[in-house]
Amino acid sequence: MIVAMQEKATEEQIDAVIDVMVEAGVNVHRTTGASQSILAGVGPTATLDLSKFEMLPGVLYVHRISSPYKLAGRGFRPEGTVVEFRNGVTVGGEKVAAMAGPCSVENREQIFETAKRVKEAGGSFLRGGAYKPRSSPYAFQGMGIPGLELMRDAAEAHGLLVVSEVMEISQIEPMLPYVDLFQVGARNMQNFNLLRELGQVRKPVLLKRGIAATVEELLLSSEYILSGGNYDVILCERGIRTYETATRNTMDISAIPVVKKLSHLPIVGDPSHGTGRRDMVAPLALAAIAAGADGIIVEVHPNADKAASDAAQTMYPDQFDKLMGQLRLIATAVGRTI
Amino acid sequence: MIVAMQEKATEEQIDAVIDVMVEAGVNVHRTTGASQSILAGVGPTATLDLSKFEMLPGVLYVHRISSPYKLAGRGFRPEGTVVEFRNGVTVGGEKVAAMAGPCSVENREQIFETAKRVKEAGGSFLRGGAYKPRSSPYAFQGMGIPGLELMRDAAEAHGLLVVSEVMEISQIEPMLPYVDLFQVGARNMQNFNLLRELGQVRKPVLLKRGIAATVEELLLSSEYILSGGNYDVILCERGIRTYETATRNTMDISAIPVVKKLSHLPIVGDPSHGTGRRDMVAPLALAAIAAGADGIIVEVHPNADKAASDAAQTMYPDQFDKLMGQLRLIATAVGRTI
Amino acid sequence: MIVAMQEKATEEQIDAVIDVMVEAGVNVHRTTGASQSILAGVGPTATLDLSKFEMLPGVLYVHRISSPYKLAGRGFRPEGTVVEFRNGVTVGGEKVAAMAGPCSVENREQIFETAKRVKEAGGSFLRGGAYKPRSSPYAFQGMGIPGLELMRDAAEAHGLLVVSEVMEISQIEPMLPYVDLFQVGARNMQNFNLLRELGQVRKPVLLKRGIAATVEELLLSSEYILSGGNYDVILCERGIRTYETATRNTMDISAIPVVKKLSHLPIVGDPSHGTGRRDMVAPLALAAIAAGADGIIVEVHPNADKAASDAAQTMYPDQFDKLMGQLRLIATAVGRTI
Amino acid sequence: MIVAMQEKATEEQIDAVIDVMVEAGVNVHRTTGASQSILAGVGPTATLDLSKFEMLPGVLYVHRISSPYKLAGRGFRPEGTVVEFRNGVTVGGEKVAAMAGPCSVENREQIFETAKRVKEAGGSFLRGGAYKPRSSPYAFQGMGIPGLELMRDAAEAHGLLVVSEVMEISQIEPMLPYVDLFQVGARNMQNFNLLRELGQVRKPVLLKRGIAATVEELLLSSEYILSGGNYDVILCERGIRTYETATRNTMDISAIPVVKKLSHLPIVGDPSHGTGRRDMVAPLALAAIAAGADGIIVEVHPNADKAASDAAQTMYPDQFDKLMGQLRLIATAVGRTI
């Protein structure tokens, strides 16, 4: 950690700060400049609440130098993490993964038809929501377990894996038989108790970035899962909130190379939520893979315009077919396959 | 609802849109301009997923006109809501309320000393966290129920009410004997299951705005509580995330008059989280009351620099005393008391 | 235009609003719902200050339906604009254009060496700043005209076109002999007098998006140039300001398909400013082309680490070579060439 | 400056970084921790382009410690700046200043009537635009010099000072006889050539914060004026762009105490542009003064609904009267007068 003192800080103030640092188990090295002193602290600063120091008299600012996450950091696994599923499908390796399906599971016909089309197009995961967190209490709230059963059946029938969102701790246990990949939604990215529980589970987790979360906060959240011993975490960029209203969110494509640099975890892009518009999904899916993403997750529905939720951002199966064709070319261009 | 058609939309496209609207139970009035047609729909549009219409061929955009919340809207209670507590304290009436206390309850001495000073300065609520959602898994996570017991005792001893954060459904029941006001933190503003449960409780709820939430989304979230029959909801502005880094968040003071215009619910300001800096708390607390807030909630700790969490934004009791003195003058200036 | 009245609006209020609309030359169609009236106005609303209506008693909100730009709209030239330069190079057609060079022109050797490498790698434009708008008054401010002379010579020697930033009206005339493409920087995107003057010039203009500008505002700004009769405008996405600090700006890749949908103007991506980090330039350049951009503009310097400005985001020529190789593959994948 | 090395940085990399620092005239102090080395640099770092260091091999990040502005810093004039005008009016002292008038000067009657009402209510500056930068090329663009003549006459007749916006260098000279305070608009906050010229003028300047500018950038921009020898600079908070759409901008009230802490320059609040809504102007004006602002600048028009520009955010004179009455009470509450 670094404590930069104000130009007019007195010797007493500097000594007082050094005392507090030493008390916290930190070794202090002082640099005295013509106008300013700098205190460099070495020791257990990763777990220290640095805000304590910010308000001490004479302090200009305090900066943590070591990254606050450990297990999620690139240094922990420089070669990168490859998450492997029971049927041999991987995320984070050479192959780019495609996850697709409806926002909500609605009925047997819908989910079976979707699964068929996803498989035919080259997808490897069937996505679909059974519990739907909706901002209005008056909107459709999901089918629950019966929806998961339908998804599982449809996925089995077509050789797909199942990814579905878990919204609270009590849902983990009942969902276990049905899902291959637990999805944590953007709104739960900082539901730390849920993350901690998922750290105890032995199934991979897809962790979506919150709409106001920094990449650093996303990695800190993944740390909750990793620190429980569950190393199979896949991150997901799905758009952040900005002032621009032409798209529902602003998909932060640069977060993909940033994550690749800072962390060993795989990352996929979600252009459906990232843009909120069906006609923007394909260009942003291509962009995500071109920028180095390990896969995409998109919303597909056989009757997209009549989807019970997220209709505007859901693709028709024919559009998904076309997208997969283009993705194959882009994957090749960046030295990967699909 | 309004559907604006593109300039080049064909008659077939317009007719198709009208059909979908009618199918949804909406009466349609068409306005044909020189270059563009507009479809005004009247009917049960509040519960309709309008995104369905956005992607229909020929549609330029779709706009909901009726506000998506009902019970939280000003029209539901034009005179405004006054939340009344068991000891006669009110929030939303003529008196401005002050809620103060440490970020986390740490020990008996700390919380009793704080309660004493809060009461002496004119506060009416003791705030304090027993469950702490921290972004790093390696930071202090709170005392739990024993912390609540200490708070309750300290509050009773000094004639204060207790406000503390509930983080998940399973905590509601055990917290009931200890708190007078359930606080829902910014990260849980869209934890709809938690909100729905709190709608069943017969204790007031303090609902904090999420750091990336619009005022409309805050009101929609309050609707989850109100629709369960719990009308004692107090909103809280605590800063939003912007590009500015001089303060931890940007406290959106204008949200206060906006809420007053759109809703009947009381709103308080939280300048501790709003700014993240002890020396900014007082000016922003004064600003909140000047702008029409019904109260403030601030962090106070007898030994602020050594607080186990949020040290930088926590005031010393002497600073709180001074703030209350200034607040009294501001309250008078806007026709209120403290 | 649409005027939605409040639920409790009186007949007098509605009539008053209709009067103001009619006075402004607008034909009004009224839709009366169970709880709310909607007034649809048809007429010269594109040039009307709609804010006048927002504050009339009983009005809930006002919405413009026709887009406020005309010449920049897709409808004006559905086939898309291809900007053609004197040597036959085009932007907006099948070929993807690469513009590269240093942030600032520093000396003859630097700019000639850069031009050589840009040409060899397949670039068609030499970029470079002669006037540098710097946020600190104490930083390097550019070489001025002598810098432009050097650029021109270097470009001629290697068969490249010159693009350079014009910062104020008085610079247009002196720059004319040296540049093929006037660049308007992000800070000047709303310098309307400068834009209007560039509308009188008969040379193409590269208009960068402001760091807080919406796509709509970018198109409105282009309208200033177009309305002067200069139709050779190329837009540029170069990152917007968000709360994320891992990159200098957040490059809004989705703005590329959004512009393609709303406008006929070509758009290029600037990943150097978009990310501010040399190691992020390549992934974001690939993403931009994958998403449909018509070209890229990047900073390249033979001795990047010692560049007089923007060193951190400037590539070495070898990095640019490699990027151009990858771009060729991506371009092919999306049906284009380089 | 601080250079934090990566954990795996080699000795050669560290030495190379030290060499570059020394070459730049910086004295280097090295702190070697268990896992990481930190280089503290002391010397002429304020004018150094630190981005050069960020990309050196082995560097984790670079941080400037000394603030990049000097003359605008609090330390330069700890007692604070009081700008004094020819008639004895001051901004930055004990008295809170009120500046009011129409967005645009439209005609003699309008501006005289406004001046009369502003004076009667207790205002000391007449504001009004003669040159209007409008985002649409089809909107009203201002009266120019004849508008300034009318303003001057109206101000003289009622004992007010004149503040009006200067949009480009060529307008400074012709405006000099008419204005007492040059206003630099938000869009020109980083028009550094204009700022530099205003540094040569011997009239005060009101510098508005850009809608995407940080407080640090605002202070850096003021430095351009100060470094020319013009110390009479008044800053203005007028709202920043965020994701919230309930108000046109988000007025960053916390910027007021932040500026007070970092700088000696006075700051006023502009709630008209800050909110964009007439009914939000009063609460935010009160909030600004409560938070420590030295004045307000608001839009007032005798026939606000028919104002040629910014109608929605313009107050009626009666509303301004009422606001001034409330402001008087707030000013007293914070120990000031009006």
pLDDT digits (tens, 9 = 90+) for D235-264: 999 999 999 988 999 999 999 999 999 999
At residue B143, the pLDDT reads 83
Q: Taking CB atoms and an 8 Å limit, are A29 and D34 in contact across chains?
A: no
Residue D40: which pLDDT band, with cuts at 50, 70 and 90? confident
pLDDT tens series, chain A, 338 aa: 888 888 788 999 999 999 988 888 888 888 776 667 888 887 777 667 777 788 788 888 888 776 778 899 988 899 999 999 999 999 999 999 999 999 999 999 999 999 999 999 999 999 999 987 665 666 666 788 999 999 999 999 999 999 999 998 889 999 999 999 999 999 999 999 899 999 999 999 999 999 999 999 999 999 999 999 999 999 999 999 999 988 999 999 999 999 999 999 999 999 999 888 888 999 999 999 999 999 999 999 998 888 877 888 899 999 999 999 999 999 999 999 99
Q: Does C28 touch chain B (CB under 8 A)?
A: no
Q: Do C2 and B63 touch (CB under 8 A)?
A: yes
Considering only CB atoms, which chain B residues are within 8 Å of D330? 290, 330, 333-334
C242 in B contact zone (CB under 8 Å): yes
* Contact criterion met (CB < 8 Å) for B63 and C66: no
> Which of A36, A66, A242 is closest, CB to CB, to D65?
A36
One-letter identity of residue B51: S
Residues of D within 8 A of C169 (CB-CB) are 168
pLDDT of residue C140: 62
Q: Which pLDDT score is estimated for D140?
A: 61
Q: What is the ipTM of this complex?
A: 0.90
Give A-chain residues touching B51 at CB under 8 angstroms: 276, 310-313
Instruction: Find the mean pLDDT for residues C262-287.
Output: 94
**Cross-chain CB nearest to D291 (options B245, B254, B284):** B284
Answer with the residue of higher pLDDT: D147 or C52: D147
pLDDT of residue A140: 62
A&B contacts, CB < 8 Å: 121
User: Which of A33, A65, A241 has its CB closest to that of D4?
Assistant: A65
Helix (H), strand (E), coil (C) string for chain D:
CEEEECCCCCHHHHHHHHHHHHHCCCEEEEEECCCCEEEEEECCCCCCCCHHHHCCCCEEEEECCCCCCCCCEHHHCCCCCCEECCCCCEECCCECEEEEECCECCCHHHHHHHHHHHHHHCCCEEECECCCCCCCCCCCCCCCHHHHHHHHHHHHHHCCEEEEECCCHHHHHHHCCCCCEEEECHHHCCCHHHHHHHCCCCCCEEEECCCCCCHHHHHHHHHHHHCCCCCCEEEEECCECCCCCCCCCECCCCHHHHHHHHECCCEEECHHHHHCCHHHHHHHHHHHHHCCCCEEEEEECCCHHHCCCCHHHCECHHHHHHHHHHHHHHHHHCCCEC
Q: Identify which of C38, B256, B29 has the alpha carbon closest to the alpha carbon of residue B270.
A: B256
| The amino acid at D91 | V
Using a 10 angstrom Cβ sphere, with 0-12 exposed, 13-18 middle and 19 or more buried, the burial of residue D93 is middle
Residues from chain B that touch D214, judged by Cβ atoms under 8 A, are 243-246
Q: Does the pLDDT at position D270 exceed 90?
A: yes
Q: What's residue B46's pLDDT?
A: 67
Over residues C57-62, the mean pLDDT reads 84
Q: Pick A227's closest partner by Cβ from B49, B137, B168.
A: B137
Proportion of chain D above pLDDT 70, given as a percent: 96
Chain A: closest CA distance from residue D60 (Å): 9
Q: Does B65 contact C66 at a Cβ distance shorter than 8 Å?
A: no
- Say what the pTM is: 0.90
Segments of chain B with pLDDT less than 50 = none
* Least confident among A188-197, D104-113, D301-310: D301-310
The neighbours of chain A, by the rule of 3 or more Cβ pairs under 8 Å, are: B, C, D
Q: Taking CA atoms, what residue in A is nearest to D73?
A: A7
In chain A, the residue whose alpha carbon lies closest to the alpha carbon of C282 is A291
- pLDDT category, D137, cuts 50, 70, 90? low
Residue of chain C nearest D68, judged by CA positions: C136
Using a CB–CB cutoff of 8 Å, tell me whether A198 touches chain B: no
Task: Identify the closest residue of chain C to B4 by CA–CA distance.
Answer: C65
**CB < 8 Å to B240, chain D:** 242-244, 250
Percentage with pLDDT > 90 across chain D: 69
Does A64 lie at the interface with D, CB-CB under 8 angstroms? no
Say yes or no for a CB contact (<8 Å) between B168 and A169: yes
Chain C touched by D19 (CB under 8 Å): no
* A243 shares contact with chain B (CB less than 8 Å): no
Residues C80 and C105 sit within 8 Å (Cβ to Cβ): no
The per-residue pLDDT for D5 is 86
In this prediction, residue D6 has a pLDDT band, given cuts at 50, 70 and 90, of confident
Residue of chain C whose alpha carbon sits nearest to that of D303: C52
Contact A309 B49 (CB under 8 A): yes
Mean pLDDT of chain C: 91
